[in-house]
Each structure stands twice: as C-alpha cells, then as structure tokens.
Structure 1
Amino acid sequence: MLESLGIGIGVAILGGALGGLALELQYRLRPAMQLDVTAKEWNLEVYEPQRYQIVGDVTLRNPLSRFEIMVPEMQCQVTLLSSASLAGITSTIQIIPQHPDAPARADNYWFAYIVKSGKTTQAEIRVEILGADLSHLQAAWIQIRYVTYSPAGRESQVSHVVVPLQFPTPDTSQRWRPTPKADVLPIRTHLLTHLDHPVEVVRHYVLPHARKGDIVTLGETPVAIMQGRWRHPTQIRPGWVARRLCYFFLPTSSLATACGLQALVDIVGPLRVLSAFVIGAVAKVLGQPGMFYRLAGEQARLIDDVTGTLPPYDQFIVLGPQHSQQIVDQIRQETGLSAAIVDVNDLKAVKILAATADITPAFLIQALRTNPAGNADEQTPLVLIRPTDPHPPT
C-alpha cells in the first residue's frame, strides 16, 4: 500500500515537473507579441525659409496568425538637430489615424484600435516647424511612441525616423588630396537616413565630380544607416550570454556593453557567441588573439555601439551593412563608377567589405590609409578616388 502510494506521488511529481517544463518551453517558444512597424514614405512637403512641413506614414502590421494586438496609445516627439541655437524655433506634431475600418476623430484623439491577426493599419504624421530662420536646421529626429496591449501584457514601444533638413549642393571646386598613387576627394552629403539609397546618393553627390576611371568608396556605417540597420538600446533586451560576457571585452569595444553584445547575439545566436568566446579565450592564452571575431562572424567587428557615430545615431547601436557586394555592383551598373564599401579608422586600418571586380585591394588600401573621410562629424561618407599612377588598377 505504502509502496503504491509512493509510486503514485513520484509519478505525480514527475508529471507536474514535465508539465511545468512543457509550459515553460511553450512560453519561451511562443512568438513575440509585437507589431511590424515600417516608416518608409516621408517627404519634406513644405521647405520655405520660415516654415518646414514633414509628412510621413507609419504602417503597423500584426504578423501573428492567432493573436490580436491592440494599440491604445500613440504619441510623437521631435528632436531638431541644428548647427546653431534653436531659440525662437517651434515644432508641432499631428497624428492622423488612417484605420481601414474606422474614421479618424476630428479632435485627433487616438482611440484604442485592434490590429487583427495578419492585418495592418496606418497613421499619417505631420510635423510643422516654424522660425525666423530655419537654414541652420540639419535634421528632425522623430520618435513614434506607441503602446501595445496583448496576451503578453501592456508594453511600450518606440520607432524612430530621421528626416534630413539640409542638403548641400555638390561643390565642384572642392580640393583633392594627394596620395602616392591617387588623388582623393571626401564628399559631403546631407545627413543620410533610411529614406536614402546608396545608388541615388552616389548619383547626386559624386557624379558631378567624377570622370571615367574613378572609384567611389562608401563608409560601412552610412550604408548600414541607409538600410535601417540601427537599433535604440531600449529596443534590445540583453539575455544571459550578453549580460555575462560583455564584461570581458575591452572598454573601447562595441561589445563591452550588454546591449551592444546582445545586438550581435540577435544576429548570430547565443550558442555561436558563447562558443566563439570560449574558443577565443583559449586561443588568446595560447598567443592567438582575435579568434573570437573570426568565429563570431563579420558583424562582430562592424557593430558600432552608442557614441560610435554622428548625431542622432550616436544614441543608437548601428549594425554592419547587408548585401554589400550587391550594392557596389549596382552602383557600378547604374553609374559607371567602380565602387567599394569600406571600414576605415584613424589607426590606418582599412577593411574592404565589398568591391567591384575591377578594383585592386592593395591600391584601395593605400589610397584610404590616411582616412580622408574622417571619424568625427565631417559628414563626408563618400570618397572619390582618382588614380594618378601611369598604370592604374585593372
């Protein structure tokens, strides 16, 4: 009798443990209760000396097949970036819901809306900027804050849009800088954002300076920014691996914070990061440093943590670019210029992420060794290279 009771209790405990484990596994594997938010169509519809008006659309899509997500709140905030004081400059924001099945209220109140599974809704955002002289404004950083309410609870979310407000005219009188086998020309652009495309930027800013045989290089961080590959730390949730391993990296590393390292974990997975760390630590003891970055993948070297680039992206973690070879090949095809995407620093280190087939790496490295684009706020993400050697690279 007692033996049977003991077996029954054991089975009950085991069943409870397995049930609890299954419930926990189901919880961890369930999809994230988040909306897919895109903000691609933004235009500077009024661009007058004393008045700017920015109009953009935000699309919210529920990717879940079973669950509904409610959006009870949406608000916007704008931060203006300027080369002069903002005194006397004001901005106002209007959010106009554009739900497919419910008209917007006349008082602009955002009423709680249900985004059904697989469905989308939109909102139009209007930003008006007024001032006696707006010529010093460089960009508007728009933060779209919204609340989701779902089986996961009430969660605050934020999406970011950067809209340039200053557009330099290509200056053909800019000074070229000599190097042993080429002349180089850093080219200033507007503040690049996810609203830009590398080909169009090259066409607008580089072609007025270029001639046959020139090479254009693009910085890897500006390319990543144009691809929208930047994340605010509030959007990143560091896990076990990132929180524990980040302390072992040098303070100057972009992986030395939990959010910076988690950005890499989100790309390649925790197991690869942990394995690369363990093997890298052993290799370092044996006199072979740098093994972690080789094993963890290219993104480990390319991530820029907070403060790693110019405002307002200094507030974000910027990932490395994607599809780099496709981009340079497209630039070559559509503009006729040879092209490369590079990572250059003030320590004379030049890393070529991708280059068209007609570029000799050694020539490119020598031309860029002095880092003509700079690492501060020069806002010169493009460098035009003109070979001066009688035998240019082929």
Structure 2
Amino acid sequence: MGFGTVVTGLGAIAFAGWAAIEWQFRQRAGNALEMTTGKWNLEVYEPHHYQLVGEFEIKNPTPNLEIFVPELTAEATLLSKESLAGIDYQITVTPNHPDAPARADGYWFGYIVKIGKTTRFTLTLDIKGSDLSTLQSAWIRVNYMTYGPEGRVPKTRHVVVPLKFPAVEDSANWRSAETVSVLPIRTHLLTHLDSPLDIVQRYVLPHAQPGDVVAIAESPLALMQDRFHHPSTVKPGWLARRICYFFMPTSSLATACGMQTLVDIVGSWRVLGAFLGGAFAKKFLDKPGLFYELAGEQARLIDDVTGTLPPYDQFIVLGPENVQAVVDDIRRKTGLAAAIVDVNDLRAVKVLAATDDVSQKLLEAALVSNPAGNADEQTPIVLIRPIKPEAKT
C-alpha cells in the first residue's frame, strides 16, 4: 500500500468522521428553551394606578440536556398618543421555582431547568401618574440568557398588553355604498391575549343584525394568533441576503429578515425555485408576479417592520393560519357570516377565507374603498350590511 493510498484513506475516514459529527450536531435542539407569552391580568385599573401581572412559564424540551437560565430581566415601553410626562412605572420579576424560594432582594439567581421540566416567574408592572387615560398599551420585553450546549445565547420574549378599551358606542359611523352599508368597528389594540370570537362578541354583536357579514383584517388576526417575531430573532441566510435585492423597495421581502421569514416558512428550495421561475416568466413571458404564486400565500401576507400599528411596527408579522376554521367558528357561535380579508389603499380586496354564505362581489363592494383604513384608526373589523332593494330611496 502506497503512501498516497494511506493518505487518501485517512482523509476519507476523517471526512466521514466530520460528516457524522456534523450530522449529529444538526439533529440536536441546542438551547431549546421555550417561554410562554404569559397569562395576564389587569389587577388594578384606577385613574392614577394601573397594575399588570403576568404569569410566565419556562419549559425545557431539549432532549437529554439541562439548560441554565443565569440571567433574566424585564423592561417596558408605554405607548400613548400624548406625552408620558408625569407617568412612571416599576417592573419587577419574582421567580416561582418549584424547588427554590425567591430572594427578598429581587435578584434572579442562576437556575437550571432540568430535562423536560418547567419553572415559572411572575412579572408585575406598576404604572402611576396623574392621568393614565391616554395610555394605549404596554410593550414588555423579557430578556433572558440561556446557557447550555450552544454556550450563552441571549433571547427576548416580547409581549404586548392593551391598556385602553373603547366603548361599543365608539363605533357608530355607518357608511353607505350602492348595495351595502359598512361600519368600521373600533377595538383595543389586539394581542395574543385575544381571540377572534371574543372580539366579535364584545365589539360587533351589539351592532349586528341577522344577515350582516363580519370582515376581519388578516394582520390583526395574525397578531391574535401570536404570529409575529422581532427581526433580532431572524438569522438571514445566504439565499435571503442575495435575492431580497431583486424585490421592490416597498415589498416586505426586500429585506434580508423579511425574505428569511418566508424561507423559514416554506423552505429555501421552494423560495429559490419561485425566484428563478418568477424571473424567467417576467423576463421572457412578460408575466410578472409568478414568484408569489409559486412561493405560496405567505409570500404576499408577510408584513415587514412598519407595516402595522405601534409597537407592532417593530416586528415582522406573518399571515394568519387556519383562517377557514376561524370564520366557521364565528358563524357557528354568533350566527353571523364572516370573512378574513386582505385590503389595501390600492383598491385590492383579497379574500383569504369566508363562510359559504358570503359572496366575493359583496365583499368587494363593501371593502374596495378600504373603510377600515391603513393608518392608526384601530378598526380591524368591518361590519357589512347588505341594502335590500326595497330599502333604497
């Protein structure tokens, strides 16, 4: 056996060993710690004092590995359309570990979340001021460090909690078109704490009559489904960084994080195939827009930062999921026909799902002028009432 043959054999063995280690590494979950968005209660809601209390749970689903949480802190941003002068807040975190009491000084001591186990903590946000009625929401960030097989990995859990709740009477501005009347429904800032059915029952049913149709905008529905994430949690890959340059500046796929969000949903091969197919169709067949057909519905529905109301303007919002189940549930439990729609100021109405008693023509007639608006109207739902021919004057 010659020297070259030995070297080649050793190289093959080394490559096989490296490949085996790499394959095994890619199968591992790493610091796969999960934190819930919390169960929240507005314990105090007085003119000069609000107190929000959230109960969080931390889970360790990482197989065969314990994960440390050596650091955990919280911060908040209060949002209002008025000045925040004279308004102060204090935020505290209290561990509720099953096997270790919390320290009286509020210090978060390093804690090990064992395999398959959970721990909890309570977050309390006290807000005080001479007039809190202008506050709209609180954006809370829980910053924590995970320590495990991937080293120290910083993570953040974002939570938005509403602080202002409009009255049912605030939605009273019916508008008439040729065949329908529409009522934009004002709500509080929708969050993961809400459900579509609860919102319809709270804000829509007091105005509704038999035969009305409830149209819910797709982005607020996605927010209620907790389908949004901060760009800091997105790691753009080779493909996303390169092809995002080929999209219009106004597209939500024109940034590396926006494009990577789509890659994470449908896969890199599908995005690459859609990009190549779309480029060919546009160049040689004079058929623009094929990319969005090939890449799937989420390609059109992703909203990059600044696409929604504060504080969601800091996040990437995905399209909603299980939309047909949502409208069917509303129809079954309220008796109202329902639809999930994507409407913009360009007079485009896209229906993502609708109960079988709703026509596309009716929705287009009602929504083509975008009565809900694309600014800060905070009217994510439109109630549609068909005008009977005999009722015309």
- Shorter-chain TM-score bucket reads over 0.9
SS of equivalent to 2:3: helix
| Separation in structure 1 between the aligned mates of residue 314 and residue 232 of structure 2, nearest angstrom | 10
Instruction: State the match for 1:351 in structure 2.
Output: 350
| Separation in structure 2 between the aligned mates of residue 24 and residue 248 of structure 1, nearest angstrom | 33
SS of equivalent to 2:159: strand
Instruction: State the match for 1:332 in structure 2.
Output: 331
The equivalences for 1:217-236 within 5 A come to 217-236=215-234
Q: Does 1:273 align with 2:289?
A: no
State the one-letter code of the partner of 2:67: I
SS of equivalent to 1:207: helix
Structure 1 residue ranges, 4+ long, deviating more than 6 angstroms after superposition: none
Instruction: State the match for 1:147 in structure 2.
Output: 145
| Separation in structure 2 between the aligned mates of residue 87 and residue 314 of structure 1, nearest angstrom | 23
Instruction: State the match for 1:300 in structure 2.
Output: 299
Instruction: State the match for 1:52 in structure 2.
Output: 50
* Alignment coverage as a number of residue pairs: 390
| Separation in structure 1 between the aligned mates of residue 171 and residue 299 of structure 2, nearest angstrom | 39
Q: Does 1:380 align with 2:379?
A: yes
Could you tell me how far 1:22 is from its partner in structure 2?
Answer: 2.6
Q: Which runs of 5+ in 2 are unaligned?
A: none
SS of equivalent to 1:103: coil
Could you tell me how far 1:29 is from its partner in structure 2?
Answer: 3.2
Cα displacement string for residues 259-298 of structure 1 (whole angstroms, at most 9, x for unaligned residues): 0011111111111111111111111112111111111111
Could you tell me how far 1:162 is from its partner in structure 2?
Answer: 0.7
Cα displacement string for residues 31-76 of structure 1 (whole angstroms, at most 9, x for unaligned residues): 2422111123111110000000000011111111211110000000
| Separation in structure 2 between the aligned mates of residue 26 and residue 242 of structure 1, nearest angstrom | 26
Cα displacement string for residues 200-253 of structure 1 (whole angstroms, at most 9, x for unaligned residues): 001010111111111111000000000000100011111111111111111110
Q: Does 1:92 align with 2:90?
A: yes
| Separation in structure 2 between the aligned mates of residue 140 and residue 228 of structure 1, nearest angstrom | 16
| Separation in structure 1 between the aligned mates of residue 25 and residue 282 of structure 2, nearest angstrom | 39
| Separation in structure 1 between the aligned mates of residue 240 and residue 29 of structure 2, nearest angstrom | 21
TM-score by length of 2: 0.97
Could you tell me how far 1:136 is from its partner in structure 2?
Answer: 0.3
TM-score by length of 1: 0.97
State the one-letter code of the partner of 1:94: T
| Separation in structure 2 between the aligned mates of residue 187 and residue 134 of structure 1, nearest angstrom | 24
Instruction: State the match for 1:309 in structure 2.
Output: 308
- Over 3 Å counting, the alpha-carbon distance change for 1:391 and 1:62 in structure 2 is farther
Cα displacement string for residues 141-180 of structure 1 (whole angstroms, at most 9, x for unaligned residues): 1000000000101011000111100000011771211111
| Separation in structure 2 between the aligned mates of residue 32 and residue 152 of structure 1, nearest angstrom | 6
Instruction: State the match for 2:242 in structure 1.
Output: 244
On the 8 A contact 2:89/2:125 being kept in 1, the answer is: yes
The equivalences for 1:1-394 within 5 A come to 3-171=1-169, 174-285=172-283, 286-390=285-389
| Separation in structure 1 between the aligned mates of residue 368 and residue 191 of structure 2, nearest angstrom | 27
On the 8 A contact 1:78/1:140 being kept in 2, the answer is: yes
Instruction: Give aligned-pair identity as a percent.
Output: 59
Q: Which runs of 5+ in 1 are unaligned?
A: none
